[in-house]
Amino acid sequence: MRIYAIGDLHLSQSVEKPMDIFGDNWQDHIKKLQHAWQEAILEDDWVLIAGDISWAMQLNEVLPDLLFLKDLPGRKLLLRGNHDFWWSSRAKVLSVLPQDMFVLQNDSLRLGDFTICGVRGWSCPGATGFSGSDRKIYSRELLRLKLSLETAASDTRKILMMHFPPFNERSQNSGFTDLIEHYGVEMVIYAHLHGAAHKAAFEGERNGVRYIFVASDYLKFRPRLIIS
């Protein structure tokens, strides 16, 4: 079993949302993603999808995008991003989720020797434009992260999947990084940043934690192998 990761698929099979307005690299990005995925992923592999899965606004609109993912090799573990407006509640998502697709929502899933935890996250204090309303959401996401980490099996190695980075654009410590280190998380994958913001993405090891950036445009739409 290998584990791959990618975020920000921004699928739009049933809604009109051309992504090439965000740069030429997004032109035909779904075809690029499909080709790279089929080339790399085997049926026994897992792919962690770190949010912003679809531009759909309603549950019925997301079905073509979920079926597109279903037809790709491997088992998929989905996390909600800030643009996944179709994701209303866990129960409703599970009611339409195809076989071999799973979700994380402030909880965890054991995969052999690993436990995958997950939380959407939010902007961190010190980020440009961070406001009082941001702080409320940030505080709520910290509680959700703690809930997720507390569900992890103690005899496993912990991987955390987030949509937002767990720090601001200067990679300063945050409540997220404090919890990550306190609970002994080994690896954190995150996405969300695009274009020029890629320069603010931190990758590498800090305080015993490996951070990996997996936004799809940064990866040239090829899922990244994180556990071989």
* Confidence at residue 99, expressed as pLDDT on a 0 to 100 scale: 87
Interatomic CA distance for residues 24 and 156, integer angstroms: 42
Residue in 111, 92, 94 with CA at minimum distance from that of residue 102: 94
Which two structure tokens, joined as six digits, stand for 137? 């959401």
pLDDT of residue 20: 63
Query: Residue 10 gets which letter from DSSP?
Result: -
pLDDT at 25: 83
User: What confidence score (pLDDT) does residue 13 get?
Assistant: 78
Contact by Cβ (8 Å): 159, 117: yes
> How far is it, in rounded angstroms, from Cα 95 to Cα 98?
9
**Which has the closest alpha carbon to 48: 14, 96, 93, 1?**
1
Q: Which two tokens stand for residue 176?
A: 């997220």
Identify the residue whose tokens are 């995150």: 190
Task: Tell me the pLDDT of the chain (228 aa) as tens digits.
Answer: 899 999 999 998 777 776 766 777 888 899 999 999 999 999 999 999 999 999 999 999 999 999 999 999 999 999 999 999 999 889 999 999 998 899 999 899 999 999 999 999 999 999 999 999 999 999 999 999 999 999 998 999 999 999 999 999 999 999 999 999 999 999 999 999 998 889 889 999 999 999 999 999 999 999 999 999
Per-residue pLDDT at 1? 86
pLDDT at residue 21, as a whole number: 60
Q: How many domains is the chain partitioned into structurally?
A: 1
Query: For position 162, what pLDDT does the model report?
Result: 98
- d(Cα 153, Cα 216) in Å, to the nearest integer? 29
- What CATH number corresponds to the domain at position 125? 3.60.21.10
What's residue 197's pLDDT?
85
Which of 38, 40, 31, 42 minimizes the C-alpha distance to 9?
A: 31
Coil/strand/helix, residue 103: strand
Give the separation between CA 69 and CA 67, rounded to whole angstroms. Answer: 5
**What domain range is 64 assigned to?**
3-227
Nearest Cα to Cα of residue 57 among 87, 29, 26, 27? 87
- pLDDT at position 40 is 96
Q: What is the largest CA-CA distance in the chain?
A: 46
